Amino acid sequence: MADKNGFFDLSKTTLSRRTALKGIAAGAGLALAPGFVRYSQAQSSAPIKIGFQSHRTGIGAAYGRWYEKTSTAAVKAINDAGGISGRKVELVIEDDGTDPARGAEVVAKFAKQHKTDIVFGTLFSHVVIGSAPAAGENKIPYFVVSEGHHVASTKLNRYVFQPGITDVKSQIQSMAPWIAANAGKKVTQIFPDFAFGYDHRDYLPPALKAQGADVIAQIAIPPTESSFTKYFPQIPAETEVIYHVMVGPAVLTFVKELGEFYGSNRPQLFGFIDSLEAVDINSPGLEFLDGSHFWEGSPRYAQPDDSAAQKAYRAAVGIDDNGAAVGDPKDVSTAAHMFGCWETLYVVKKAMEDAGYKGPEDRAKLVEATEALKEFAEGTEHPQGPKTFNGKIHQCFGIQNISKVEGGKLKVVHKTKIEDGLYEPEGDYTTQAL
Amino acid sequence: MRDASPAKAYALHVGVIALLFALNFVLPDYHQGLFARIMALAVFAMGYNLLFGYVGLLSLGHAMFFSAGLYGAGLTVHHLGWGVPEAFIAGVTCGALLALVIGLLALRTSGVAFMIVTMMFAQVFYLLILYFAAWTGGDQGLVVQQASRTLNLGGASLDLTDPTVRYMSALALFAVVLLITLTVVRSRFGRVLVAIRENEERTKMLGYDTVANKLAAVVASGAICAASGAAYALLFGYVGSSFAGVQYSILPLLWVLLGGAATTLGPLVGTLFMYYVTDITSGFTSAYLLIVGVALILLVLFFPKGILGSIRERWLGWLP
């Protein structure tokens, strides 16, 4: 018995497009949330809108907060100096929840609802990889500050770029000469048993081999582990260097237990600061790290030989000499990575100006202009140091810092050369259609 | 019987499908994309609902069936270069087979034990994905390249990354599963499932093989969830371990509870509601999960049987 009135009549009538539209218009009209308003095309004098995909919540929240601070500071600096091609820049921020599915939705939201010119931001590899298809499908350039090797692997697509931070494969490779020459020739690696750890597992041994050193043991620690003592007997006695890249809250326990295991007679320690980004190096339990070495993309602590550009960058972002927020010494920054946001935004500015970018219709031109970039000189726009850019793999290569923990601070003891981190390209994005 | 009017029920469902079809032409671009995603995930919720709503088995491990479909389809395209239809079938088959095995083991338990066992199996599945990172991409996942997401039908080739094709593909899957679910729950089999939910002992005494019926429901539920996962991989191009995590076992439960357990359209309503609450509130505050939580509590307080469940109870008794 079909109801004669109301809704069910809809299925009984012949549903022409016009009737359907009439019926639906009422429903659509209800949805008068701001999100439903169709946006008009940006005028040439309108601000350039940059969609910032931020880890505001989820596991990446500490990074997200500092990425936002850095990006906001960079946008202010760019706007104060006249913007991009004379147009102001506006950041539109959406939270990706550090989740790949939401990340993809956010990219689509930027492209279709906010109508931003590009999408920018985000660190965690799985979010970048999850979001990349949405960027490619919407043909919207997606500039990431992720440091993962996924962009340079050419497994993503032509719209994804990483021009502001060196990828992890290059970072690891450029550490090898220093480790072999200064720390020791017999290296044991301890890493988390997931992708971040695998980069180190796979790229370090060949790089060390080329320097006449060897990885003599690789100890993968399951991500669910919260105590590590049982793994330490696996470290061979002849180990000269322990190379550790543990991440997450467990890192404090890891260091503490390693200290208890070795006491004062320990091998050299070398780590990636990723383990301790946004964590005070003077936290209780980390005393054992004194005298050990870390990779840093950009130094957390102000260095005596900091360039004027580095000083200006630190002041603009609002970090003090210890790498913490000005006025809040407990709020430690993610200094080793977040400079990438600053530099990426300046790369976007350069590429947009090179392309004569006017609006979304010029996105393909923007991609090509970015691919045409070759190098970035050290200076206000690139305070971390000079970089080269490979347009075929959409990846930049810069210098890296090796810092020693001394008196509760990180002191840069070595800067690598760009050439130390170069490798054979694994593909070529420019062969893909736009 | 209160559902003596099949015409009314079928008319409603066909009407909903027609409405969704029409929405493709009027929705703004972003919402068209979001609806495609919601329809694909509503299928996941429908699969979950079949087991939870109609059989009364609360699983906390359905992410494994969704991701069996996701990986079954995604990996065959990525590593073996399979076409879209074969990959989709591979995904659904993986889900159904996994459900058969899990069903045989987990159905030896019930109640809280069933929840724990399914959750543990899902965790095993999740860790296996990480363990075989060389093939699965581990926690980073894999991209299913745009070029391989084309459906060749006879002479025509459909690009699944085109917004309209994607919307229509998601709608097609949604419509088929919705009508199958409706038919199943109105069938003799569906009534046996409800009887098991209400009183398993009595059903057994009446001569029904409850274990076989429950196993069939687990397999059907797993296959439907896997279809959703396979469609997700092929339509949205990303295969990742986060879809196998605990969160994706809880989400379909929430969607179903919200929309109304044991209602055929509840899963769609719940998924739609959750998605939009999240999407709209996240534009205003980073504490949007708090708002989602408050919304859920209010719904539980005022609509304890979910949106459609409460509507059925109060006004539309014939709602399937």
pLDDT band at A316 (very low <50, low <70, confident <90, very high): very high
Put simply, whether A134 touches B (Cβ < 8 Å) is: yes
Q: What backbone phi and psi angles, to 5 degrees, belong to A320?
A: -85, -170
Whether residue B101 is contained in a domain is answered as yes
Q: What is the pLDDT of residues A200-210, one digit of tens each?
A: 999 999 999 99
CB A46 within 8 A of CB A87: yes
Tokens 């660190």 correspond to A123
Give the dihedral sign, CA B282/B287/B293/B299: negative
Distance of CA A41 to the CA centre of its chain: 30
**How many Å apart are CA A256 and CA B128, to the nearest integer?**
30
8 Å CB contact of B25 and A129: no
B270: Cβ contacts below 8 Å, ≥ 6 apart: B45, B254, B255, B256, B257, B258, B259, B260, B306, B307
Q: What is the pLDDT of residues B264-281, one digit of tens each?
A: 999 999 999 999 998 888
Nearest to A24 among B7, B11, B23 (CB): B23
Nearest to B240 among A97, A108, A130 (CB): A130
Distance of CA B155 to the CA centre of its chain: 32
pLDDT band at A252 (very low <50, low <70, confident <90, very high): confident
Distance from CA of B301 to the nearest CA of A (A): 26
The pLDDT assigned to A28 comes to 45
CB A132 within 8 A of CB A156: yes
The pLDDT assigned to A275 comes to 80
* A118-121, strands of its sheet edge to edge: A89-95, A48-54, A118-121, A142-144, A160-161
A212: left (phi over 0), alpha (psi -120 to 50) or beta: left
The pLDDT assigned to A32 comes to 40
pLDDT band at A1 (very low <50, low <70, confident <90, very high): very low
pTM for this predicted structure:
0.88
8 Å CB contact of B143 and A38: no
Nearest to A104 among B137, B145, B238 (CB): B238
Nearest CA in chain B to A106: B279
ipTM: 0.89
**How many Å apart are CA B237 and CA B252, to the nearest integer?**
21
Report how many domains make up chain B: 1
Cα separation values, B102 from A162, B68, B136, B245, B257, Å: 43, 12, 21, 17, 23
Percent of chain A at pLDDT > 70 equals 89
Nearest to A105 among B15, B34, B243 (CB): B34
Mean pLDDT of the B230-258 span = 94
The pLDDT assigned to A256 comes to 86
Put simply, whether A12 touches B (Cβ < 8 Å) is: yes
8 Å CB contact of A155 and B15: no
CB A370 within 8 A of CB A345: no
Q: What is the DSSP letter of A177?
A: H
Tokens 């190096």 correspond to A281
The pLDDT assigned to B9 comes to 87
8 Å CB contact of B286 and A100: no
**How many Å apart are CA A232 and CA A285, to the nearest integer?**
17
Check pLDDT > 90 for residue B191. yes
Nearest-5° Cα angle at A227, A222 to A231: 65
Distance from CA of A390 to the nearest CA of B (A): 22
**How many Å apart are CA A229 and CA A257, to the nearest integer?**
6
Check pLDDT > 70 for residue B304. yes
User: Could you tell me which residue, A408 or A30, shows the higher pLDDT?
Assistant: A408
User: Could you tell me which residue, B320 or A150, shows the higher pLDDT?
Assistant: A150
The pLDDT assigned to A10 comes to 35
Nearest CA in chain B to A105: B34
Check pLDDT > 70 for residue A412. yes
Q: DSSP letters along A271-299, please?
A: EEGGGGTTS-TTSTT-GGGTT-EEEESS-
Closest CA to A191 of A242, A152, A146, A241: A242
Secondary structure (3-state) at A152? coil
The pLDDT assigned to B282 comes to 85
Site from A9, A11, A16, A102 to mutate, B interface, most B CB atoms within 10 angstroms: A11
Put simply, whether A148 touches B (Cβ < 8 Å) is: yes
Site from A4, A112, A116 to mutate, B interface, most B CB atoms within 10 angstroms: A112
Q: Terminus-to-terminus CA distance in chain B, angstroms? A: 12
CB B20 within 8 A of CB A103: no
Secondary structure (3-state) at B284? coil
Q: What is the pLDDT of residues A319-359, one digit of tens each?
A: 999 999 999 999 999 999 999 999 999 999 999 999 999 99
The pLDDT assigned to A29 comes to 43
Please tell me the CATH superfamily of domain A48-166+337-398, with its number: Response regulator (3.40.50.2300)
Q: Which secondary structure element, helix H or strand E, spans residue B10, and what is its range? A: helix B6-26
pLDDT band at B155 (very low <50, low <70, confident <90, very high): confident
Q: Residue A110 is which amino acid?
A: F
> In which residue ranges of chain A is CATH 3.40.50.2300 found?
48-166+337-398, 169-296+405-409
Closest CA to A2 of B186, B314, B4, B268: B4
Domain range spanning residue B218? 6-245
Say if strands A89-95 and A118-121 run parallel, antiparallel, or are unpaired. Answer: unpaired
Structure tokens at A321: 């000499």
Put simply, whether A18 touches B (Cβ < 8 Å) is: no
Closest CA to A77 of A309, A305, A338, A299: A309
Average pLDDT, chain A: 88
Residues of B in contact with A1 (CB under 8 A): 5, 7-8
- Name the CATH architecture for the domain at A169-296+405-409: 3-Layer(aba) Sandwich (3.40)
Check pLDDT > 80 for residue A16. no
Whether residue B12 is contained in a domain is answered as yes
Helices A125-138 and A100-109, packing angle to 10 deg = 30
Cα separation values, B184 from B11, B170, B187, Å: 16, 21, 5
Whether residue B194 is contained in a domain is answered as yes
The pLDDT assigned to A168 comes to 94
Whether residue B279 is contained in a domain is answered as no
Q: What backbone phi and psi angles, to 5 degrees, belong to B36?
A: -60, -45
